[in-house]
Chain A
Amino acid sequence: MSSATQAPYTPKTSTGRITNFVDQRVGGSGMLREFGRKVFPDHWSFMFGEVALYTFVILLLSGTFLTLFFDPSMAETTYTGSYVPLKGMQMSVAYDSTLNISFDIRGGLFMRQVHHWSALLFVAAVSVHMLRVFFTGAFRKPRELNWVVGGILLIMSMAAGFTGYSLPDDLLSGNGLRIIDGVVMAIPVVGTYISFFLFGGEFPGTAIISRLYMFHIMLIPAIILLLVAVHLFMVVVHKHTQYPGPGRSDRNVVGYPLGPVYAAKAGGFFFIIFGIVALVSAFFTINPIWNYGPYDPSPISAGTQPDWYIGWVDGALRLMPGWLFNIPMEWHIPFPWGVNTLSLNVLLPALVPAGLVFTLLFAYPWIERWVTRDDREHHVLDRPRNAPTRTAIGVAGFIFYCVMWAAASSDLIATHFQVSLNDVTYWLRALFFVGPILGFIVSKRVSLALQRKDREIALHGRETGRIVRLPHGEFQEMHAHLDDYKRYKLVGYESPVAEDGIPNENGIVTKTERRRAALSRFFFEDRVAPATPAELAAGHAHHEAIEAGEESRPVSRY
């Protein structure tokens, strides 16, 4: 950049020389200037996204090791490895090579355990991260698109998990594939064809493992990697959100500079996650495929469980009754060319709940934006209690998910608690409908109650437990007033009021507008207004009147 007339920058330290070398070739100085001290807000709940990122890195590392030894072939072979109980058995090469990784490659079992545990943790971290983003309102403008990217990442993480789960070709995962085949075949018109194309003929065929392998080690990780890059790029563009508090506003970002503190904490956290996954893998067995045996369509073991993140779909399949009040959920529809079969008992639970959850998840930022007519940028998060209806919607969705998830373990619940399996299913069927409604009502009331408590504390301080007798004989508990910083955290939020429909230019309130007004009432009819300075002053006046007699002992501030 420097012209000949200008004296070129001559670095004096070795750091300076390296920086200069790099800068003159790729121009990194500007970037370092931009990012080196970039401020990141800090909060424990921001770690879930980091956990997701780091477990993904661990997955790439351990997965690469596993590909060096795994052979995704369904050709038949005879087992000759170290695990005595299976010696001489016929099995697929995929299962054989998984056994070899477990028993004959030193550290292979450990890497399998690390890979599987971090996969479970990865999907969990993505899910919890999304819950955090939802409940704090971090999806609001300008972050709606990043919310969508996150939703796709959640779907991709489940796809990555499922395709990987199936690769060892053991009895348990084979039955999982059998269920997928059954669901695919239920798709009207093209289901049978998709099944035959997917499996390369009749189930199980000899193609599915190598096809899933391609998805698992190439296509899906590539998509995840790309989306992670987009996701993080958008985080940088938007800058991170921050929790509300004194000194924090939508116009600033308060936190630690990237270098050194934030980078050190975040970087150190990667090693902590890796260490925890390693310890868990050292002590807790996951997916002991040698116990299940190779896939065979005839045997099965009781108490089968999918990996946790598939549970909610499997649970939905379990909850659906085949017969509803003597009406079969499988319909035989007469067409001019013959009778065709529509398996609603499979299609409805496989598609409707998941479709509902993801449609609402993707659409929610725009729904809330439409209801509130809020076009401002939000960089300060909501405390969940300060958005009671959103929090209640989130809890309702969470319970909806959890009921299905619990249903995937209905048989284990029944055997573990020694109750009737049928009763467990009946209760869960009821909860499937009632649970979200109850959850909505309860969590909304809890939010409002917490807001009232905040108001109470902001205006009257905390109870100290110190009882004072006033001159005229009355006993009173002293309250310790908050300092301005703590009080601001409790009062610095927005509490919109419900809006009526707004007439258009012809003075007519359209049907859409009336619907919006109804939703606005649904959102904001019940509200707790933040405390105001006037209320605080009025409260003080009241207290001063009472405390006038003991002016010599001011109420302690803690």
Chain B
Amino acid sequence: MGNHSDGTPASSDAVAKAGHGEVEKFQDPGLPPHRLRLADTDPRAAKRAERQVAILFVISAIGTLLFFFAYFGIHLDQSLSTLHLQNTFLGLGVGFAMLGIGTGIVHWARALMPDHEVSEERHAMRTEEDRVAAVKIVDDIIEETGIKRRPLIRNTLIGAMALAPLPAIAILRDLGPLPGNALHHTLWKQGERLARDPDGTPIKASDVTIGSVFHVIPESLNQLTEGKLEEKAKAAVLLVRLDPSLLHPSPGREDWSYNGITAHSKICTHVGCPVALYEQQTHHLLCPCHQSTFDLTRECKVIFGPAVRPLPQLPITVDSEGYLVAQSDFHEPVGPSFWERS
């Protein structure tokens, strides 16, 4: 080791190439001559480097002190500004503490530790002898078990081993309930009032001016004590009022809107993000996650993006007090597609 003549052309195969009949190659000249650093020859340069390393370590110590100053000295008073200040100085303290040590050590290594590149022979990872012995051992072991001679044992073992892991899968069964038809129903039912999200106050049809948008939940949602988020994740609705002449209801759906007020599921039919962006000029709904775009005037048909199906429409009308109510639940499952959905 440490011998710069290692890897001489004679011992080097870096340039060998198999089989292509190359005539001639440049010879490996071996490691280039070592170049001394300033600190190797000039004691004053070495001394200077030593001082620099020490200064970096002192900077690190100062950084640690800065951390303590920030931790104990800066009092949080529930405002973002003190929090910000403390975070900055904690970071500065730790940053300098770490960088001081790191740069100090690296500088020490680069300037003062020996920088002779050395060459070491690679040893074969394994010997032929070892491998022959290993193969023989494996063969002997297999032979001694007699697994080849006794297929009955082998086959029953394979059968048992194939079955044994199955309980590990079955035991996961109780991770959750079966889907059943949970995805086919929401909180909406006949007469359920449309209410504002999140406070749950019902919406009067007369309050909905043309061009306005309401984020809607079923009125009964806020009374739920359990499973509120799960129900909301299915029942969230976007209510928009357009000029009725702009709407193009398909046959059978003419009475699903009221006075140009339409209610569509807010849950994207792609992978379920809330479709919350309404472009007032174009009457498009845009999903901010993957940019599926739905045309409100055409029953939320997909006009761009990865979604395939239109947002399901909630049939609505008004009750005797003038509040908007659902005529029924959605007529199809809301949200992303799934295998059992037809």
Residues of chain A touching chain B, judged by Cβ–Cβ distance below 8 Å, are: 37-39, 82-84, 102-104, 106-107, 109-110, 113, 142, 175, 178-179, 181-183, 185-193, 195-205, 207, 237-239, 244, 246-257, 260-261, 264-265, 267-276, 278-279, 281-283, 295-304, 314, 317-323, 328-330, 332, 338-343, 345-346, 349, 374, 376, 379-380, 410-411, 421-422, 425, 484-485, 487-488, 491-492, 494, 496-497, 530-534
Contacts and interface: CB of A to CB of B under 8 A. Distances in A.
Interface in B43-99: 71, 76, 78, 83, 86-92, 94-99
B105 interface: yes
Contacts of B24: 532-534
B318 interface: no
B1 A37 contact: yes
B102 A274 contact: yes
Give 5 closest A-B pairs by Cβ, nearest first: A282-B91, A182-B271, A271-B102, A268-B105, A275-B99
Interface in B11-28: 11-15, 17-18, 20, 23-28
Interface string B152-185: 0000000000000000000011011111001100
Contacts of A249: 7, 11-14, 28
A342 B173 CA distance: 24
Contacts of A104: 76
Nearest to A379: B122
B120 interface: yes
B127 to A, nearest CB: 14
Interface stretch (B137-145, B203-211, B272-280): B272-280
B104 interface: yes
A425 B76 CA distance: 46
Interface in B266-303: 266-268, 270-274, 276-277, 288-292, 302
A316 B291 CA distance: 12
B213 interface: no
B114 interface: yes
Contacts of B309: 330
Given A175-B273, A341-B339, A343-B337, A271 B90 contact: no
B103 interface: yes
Interface stretch (B227-235, B246-254, B255-263): B227-235
Given A204-B229, A268-B103, A330-B309, A340 B291 contact: no
B104 to A, nearest CB: 7
17 contacts: A39-B120, A178-B272, A196-B179, A202-B234, A247-B30, A249-B12, A251-B12, A251-B121, A253-B119, A254-B7, A255-B117, A256-B118, A268-B109, A299-B215, A322-B307, A346-B306, A488-B29
A199 B339 contact: no
Contact of B14 (A248, A267, A282, A345): A248
B217 interface: yes
Contacts of B106: 264-265, 268-269, 272
Contacts of A322: 270, 292, 302, 305-308
B91 A82 contact: no
Contacts of A484: 29
